[in-house]
Amino acid sequence: MPVWGANRGDAVGEFQSRIEAAVTDTGYRYQRTGQGFDLTVDVPGPERRIHTYRVVLRRPERAFTMTDVVRTIGYGAGPDGSRRGKTVTAGRSVYVARSRALDGSGRWHTFSSADGHRLIRGVARELGWREVRPTSVKIAMAFGVLGGAVAIGTLVALAVVFWF
């Protein structure tokens, strides 16, 4: 059995190859990029949703970032009838989508975005890579902490005002 790890000459190539092998014959589509790879999957549901796990590998640090890019194409009612709408979100998306098969079999198709995260993190762990959060996630977390602090401050101020 080959030894993977810090002594491996082409750590990025090994990471990419392991992911590519792991998604062979699955619903995931694999594409190498200049800095890593994209895993793309069609999400079942009434609207067309495409989930891409964009992974950037940093070889010197043996670190990676993972960003979820979710493209949704749906239809909605507008003043002039049915209108096609598109949205694109990037950051960290964790959700589950479930829909019935269109073939009349009564089967359900389920998608969990966490499955792709687990797959990528599992390969990374085996090869000794660590995850670094992308800047967009760090910014979102900072705003969340700031919003939480403002909410707690507001509750304390209201408690003081109504207590006295």
Residue-level pLDDT at 6: 45
Q: Three-state SS for 59?
A: coil
Number of C-beta neighbours around residue 87 at 10 A: 11
| pLDDT reading at 127 higher than 60 | yes
Contact 129, 65 (CB under 8 A): no
Rounded to whole angstroms, how far apart are CA atoms 65 and 39?
A: 13
For the chain, give the mean pLDDT. Answer: 81
Residue-level pLDDT at 89: 78
The more confidently predicted of residues 76 and 10 is: 10
Those residues with Cβ within 8 angstroms of residue 22's Cβ, 6 or more apart along the chain or in another chain? 119, 123
Confirm whether pTM is higher than 0.75: no
Portion of the chain with pLDDT greater than 70, in percent: 80
How do residues 5-51 score in pLDDT, each as one tens digit?
A: 444 448 888 999 999 999 999 889 999 998 899 999 988 877 788 99
The structure tokens 């966490």 sit at 114
Question: Among 68, 87, 88, which Cα is nearest to 137's?
Answer: 68
Residue 121 banded pLDDT, cuts 50, 70, 90: very high
Number of C-beta neighbours around residue 93 at 10 A: 15
